[in-house]
Amino acid sequence: MSRNLLQNKKIFITGHRGMVGIALVKYLKKKRCKNFILVTKKQINLLDENKVNKFIKKKKPQIIINCAGRVGGILANSTYPVEFLNENILIQLNLVNAAFRNKIEHFINLGSSCIYPKTSKQPIKEEYLLSSHLESTNEAYALAKIVGLKSCEFYNKQYKKSYFTLMPCNLYGPNDNFNLKNSHFIPALIKKVIKSRNKKNSKIEIWGTGKPKREVMYVEDLARAIYFCLEKKLNKDKKFLKIIKQNPVINIGSGNEFTIKQFAKMICKIANKSENLIFNKNYPDGTMRKILDNKKISSLGWKPKISLEKGLIETIEWYKENYL
């Protein structure tokens, strides 16, 4: 039986004010972890290599979990590719380099399912990375995240480290970004549906055709997966260590795959809003289907717990409490 070796570890979580970071800290506290290093952008600029290294050297964390980065939907990615590329590369490299220089044994990087090739076979296996062209609508972000992922892989090969990257599918939940200019599709749909609910005969605009299929996961399930993998590593689980030695990338999927149109209808139903949907085909669809192969983490005994309906209800309630 595995022991909870995380309770007394000093854990540095970057991006702790973002959706993933907030969910992760909350879940780790539930698991009785209490020794956190949590700092704001004002306290440490993750884009500054020298400052990051000095900070890690001074604070001496035992575990680094990188939840920081510039994120956004198709519109944000296509509008600000330079920022998406530069900022995400710098954040990841500064952290992994500092982890190595300061002999930090445990480094977890977060990737994203959107960095897989546009024409990947489905479900997408970890080894499909870089097998074909990337999706043009988020190419800059994908390239940057691939650099972070590969840096972990190269440190493992060259210096016998065991850093690894978790690759979640599309995430949603409390503390998501609901700004229509740079949000992902679930929070954008929620905001549009709620805003139109009290307007008679109001239409809900969906960007694109509504036909692309997406897999989504409630953010708490990702927090559970991070804890699960860390626990396996700290307990020196042979199967886990063998998996990350072969390929230090692990998909974290949910199996909840629907079209954008179906997601919109579900949200309308939960929010008691009539389905008055219109599709703006002037916006690109992006990749037409994207679902992760979950066999690696499933073979270790992990599976998601939060149903799509429950997750959407929780997220809609959070949105109404915080934005209305």
- The span from the CA of 250 to the CA of 126, in Å, is 7
Q: Residue 205 belongs to what H/E stretch?
A: strand 204-207
Q: Residue 164 belongs to what H/E stretch?
A: strand 164-168
Task: Copy the structure tokens of residue 72.
Answer: 């956004």
Catalytic residue, chosen from 116, 141, 227, 319, is 141
**Cβ atoms 152, 166 nearer than 8 A:** no
- The span from the CA of 232 to the CA of 211, in Å, is 38
**Cβ atoms 230, 108 nearer than 8 A:** yes
- The span from the CA of 126 to the CA of 146, in Å, is 12
Task: Copy the structure tokens of residue 55.
Answer: 């900070």
Side-chain-facing half-sphere of 78: CA atoms under 13 Å? 12
Residue 98: closest CA among 158, 39, 151: 151
Complete DSSP assignment for 116-149: S-TT--SSBPGGGTTSSPPPGGGHHHHHHHHHHH
Max CA pair span of the chain:
63
- Asked about 155 being catalytic, the answer comes back as no
266 by Cβ neighbours in 10 Å (0-12 / 13-18 / 19+) ranks as: middle
Active-site positions read 141
